[in-house]
């Protein structure tokens, strides 16, 4: 009987030891994954908020705009179904507050000059409303700006006319997809009414990330 008891104790000790080892391996694996994630995050650049940076970066953007080399991806204004703020009208649209911000951002683009600029929007209510209030007219909608997974960057380049800027009102997932396509970190969700700005020189086929302009950043240098 003692022998059986001792055997049982030994078996339980071995089992407990295995459990401890497995837990230790799981902890080590989790730490390694965390370290790898941190390494990738540090190694992968993030688009800069260049309106808060040097005057040289801002001047580079303005020069690209004058040349008609800019593609600006603008996230829609504050969406009503994810906010406690009063809705503009329908639940799938934007808020009253979002309308005001959209008008301000649109005024900043108009201040840059829209003579050489084409404007398109996703057909969803929140993007259509944002675009219409930004530019004070009905903006043409295109489905590819809503269903954009892994295609939006190439689609934008395809729709850009040489020597003309392109402003595209779209969604956060689409903007993050652009960042991924250009090998930038996508850890943060773009703010409402923020713009992701790139330049594309068609003659040289050169694509360059300029950075992010949040809705409140335009007043810093315009």
More confident residue, 61 or 9: 61
CA atoms of 88 and 130, how far apart (whole Å): 11
pLDDT of residue 35: 47
More confident residue, 24 or 212: 212
More confident residue, 113 or 32: 113
**pLDDT interval class at 12 (50, 70, 90):** low
Kindly tell me if the per-residue pLDDT of 187 is higher than 80: no
CA atoms of 168 and 38, how far apart (whole Å): 32
Q: Among residues 186, 182, 157, which one has the least CA distance to residue 173? A: 186
**pLDDT interval class at 52 (50, 70, 90):** confident
**pLDDT interval class at 40 (50, 70, 90):** very low
Kindly report, residue by residue over 72-113, the tens digit of the pLDDT: 999 999 999 999 999 999 999 999 999 999 999 999 999 999
pLDDT of residue 1: 52
**pLDDT interval class at 70 (50, 70, 90):** very high
Would you identify the CATH topology of the domain 50-220? Rossmann fold (3.40.50)
pLDDT of residue 176: 94
More confident residue, 24 or 127: 127
The average confidence (pLDDT) of the chain is 87
Give residues with Cβ within 8 angstroms of 16, minimum separation 6. none
Apex 62 CA angle, 58 and 65, nearest 5: 140
Domain boundaries, the chain: 1-43, 50-220
CB-based burial, 146-156: b 16+ in 10 Å, e otherwise: bebeeebbebb
Kindly report, residue by residue over 190-202, the tens digit of the pLDDT: 999 999 999 999 8
Kindly report, residue by residue over 145-180, the tens digit of the pLDDT: 999 888 999 999 999 999 999 999 999 999 999 999
């Amino acid at each position: 009987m003692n022998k059986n008891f001792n055997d049982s104790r030994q078996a339980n000790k071995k089992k407990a030891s295995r459990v401890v080892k497995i837990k230790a391996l799981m902890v080590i694996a989790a730490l390694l994954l965390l370290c790898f994630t941190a390494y990738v995050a540090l190694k992968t650049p993030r688009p800069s908020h260049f309106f808060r940076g040097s005057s040289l970066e801002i001047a580079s953007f303005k020069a690209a705009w004058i040349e008609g080399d800019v593609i600006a991806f603008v996230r829609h204004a504050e969406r009503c179904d994810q906010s406690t703020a009063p809705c503009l009208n329908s639940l799938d649209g934007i808020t009253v507050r979002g309308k005001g911000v959209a008008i301000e951002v649109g005024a900043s683009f108009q201040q840059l000059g829209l003579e050489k600029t084409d404007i398109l929007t996703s057909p969803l209510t929140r993007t259509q409303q944002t675009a219409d209030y930004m530019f004070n007219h009905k903006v043409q909608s295109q489905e590819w700006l809503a269903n954009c997974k892994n295609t939006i960057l190439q689609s934008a380049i395809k729709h850009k006319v040489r020597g003309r800027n392109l402003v595209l009102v779209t969604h956060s997932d689409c903007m993050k997809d652009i960042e991924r396509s250009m090998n930038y970190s996508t850890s943060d969700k773009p703010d409402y009414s923020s713009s992701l700005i790139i330049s594309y020189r068609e003659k040289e086929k050169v694509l360059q990330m300029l950075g992010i302009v949040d809705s409140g950043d335009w007043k810093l240098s315009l």
